[in-house]
Amino acid sequence: MRQNTFTRHLAIYQAQFKIWTAVQVQYRVAMIIWLIGIIIEPVVYLVVWSNVATASGGSVGGYDSAGFAAYFIGAMVVNHLTFCWHMWEYDTIIRQGQLSARLLRPMHPIHADLAENLAYKVITSVVVVPTTIVLILIFRPAWQPQVGQMLAFFPALVMAFLIQFFMGWALAMAAFWTTRISAINRIYFLGKLFLAGQLSPLSLLPQRLQSAASISPFRWMLSFPVELLLGRVAGTAVYTGLLAQFIWVTLSLLAVRAIWRAGVRRYSAFGS
């Protein structure tokens, strides 16, 4: 029986899923540690901004305490579903030549990482879902979703994931040229902290930073889906936002292809 490309890739994704389920079940303690890590940051900012709201007569910038609770819990969930970590791994993979093994496979290495990423998220959701419920009970967010924006939320979430994944993978490719990739990664995550809405809702940033966030991919990789989830995007901005996301998905995918081709050529040069 001749397998077509689709069944081949499907089998690969299924295999990755099984591997990663087994791995994660082994690392139960590590999961708990990791969980504390991903909820600490949003919870800290949630508390800080709630304090600001209370000190400013109840609300600031259109958010009251319950609004901030909804924003940061929503941001935590969206970030969990969209984040990418592969840029931290490729320095080792390329320097130690492990990439050679991946290049021998009958498919592009990006598929292995994509499958690992998705499998990891599905498995860790088992822990994130009850955690989110507990946070909702503790912080009592106010959530009034708008039907139209909720419909736009799902494609926005998928596109945000793709933007983070492709940008992260393109960043990982920098390891072909330099060993100081962790410095580049840190700058990227610094930008993400401020401009993707992890530190605060973007509407609370100074105007120039808000513009920078909208021009960069950062707003579209995290903040925009959260804004849709909370029903805070007005009218046609929903469509222009989805379009901006689509543009950034395309741009980051093109970047991945270009950088990969240039990098692999350089990598092969060392092998021979």
The contact set with another protein (CB under 8 A) reads 29-30, 33, 36-37, 40-41, 43-44, 47-49, 51-52, 55-56, 60-61, 138, 180, 183, 186-187, 190, 193-194, 199-200, 204-206
In the complex, least distance from residue 72 CB atom to another protein, rounded to whole angstroms: 14
Q: Is the Cβ of residue 101 or residue 190 nearer to another protein in the bound state?
A: 190
In the complex, least distance from residue 165 CB atom to another protein, rounded to whole angstroms: 24
Per-residue tokens: 235:
């009218």
How far is it, in rounded angstroms, from Cα 200 to Cα 68?
A: 9
How far is it, in rounded angstroms, from Cα 153 to Cα 149?
A: 6
How far is it, in rounded angstroms, from Cα 78 to Cα 25?
A: 23
**Alpha-helical regions (H) of 140-236:** 147-172, 181-195, 207-215, 218, 224-229
Q: Is the Cβ of residue 193 or residue 255 nearer to another protein in the bound state?
A: 193
Q: Is the Cβ of residue 124 or residue 252 nearer to another protein in the bound state?
A: 124
Q: How many CB atoms lie within 10 A of CB 25?
A: 10
Q: Is the Cβ of residue 15 or residue 133 nearer to another protein in the bound state?
A: 133
In the complex, least distance from residue 150 CB atom to another protein, rounded to whole angstroms: 29
Per-residue tokens: 232:
């805070």
Q: Is the Cβ of residue 40 or residue 262 nearer to another protein in the bound state?
A: 40
Per-residue tokens: 250:
């395309």
In the complex, least distance from residue 94 CB atom to another protein, rounded to whole angstroms: 19
Q: Is the Cβ of residue 194 or residue 267 nearer to another protein in the bound state?
A: 194
Question: What are the distances in angstroms from CA 77 to CA 13, 42, 181, 210, 257?
Answer: 23, 10, 27, 22, 29
Contact 224/154 with Cβ under 8 angstroms?
no
Per-residue tokens: 41:
């940051």
In the complex, least distance from residue 218 CB atom to another protein, rounded to whole angstroms: 14
In the complex, least distance from residue 159 CB atom to another protein, rounded to whole angstroms: 27
Contact 228/150 with Cβ under 8 angstroms?
yes
How far is it, in rounded angstroms, from Cα 68 to Cα 197?
A: 12
In the complex, least distance from residue 39 CB atom to another protein, rounded to whole angstroms: 9
Question: What are the distances in angstroms from CA 218 to CA 46, 108, 187, 207?
Answer: 20, 26, 13, 15
How far is it, in rounded angstroms, from Cα 256 to Cα 79?
A: 21
In the complex, least distance from residue 40 CB atom to another protein, rounded to whole angstroms: 5
Q: Is the Cβ of residue 61 or residue 155 nearer to another protein in the bound state?
A: 61
Q: Is the Cβ of residue 157 or residue 204 nearer to another protein in the bound state?
A: 204
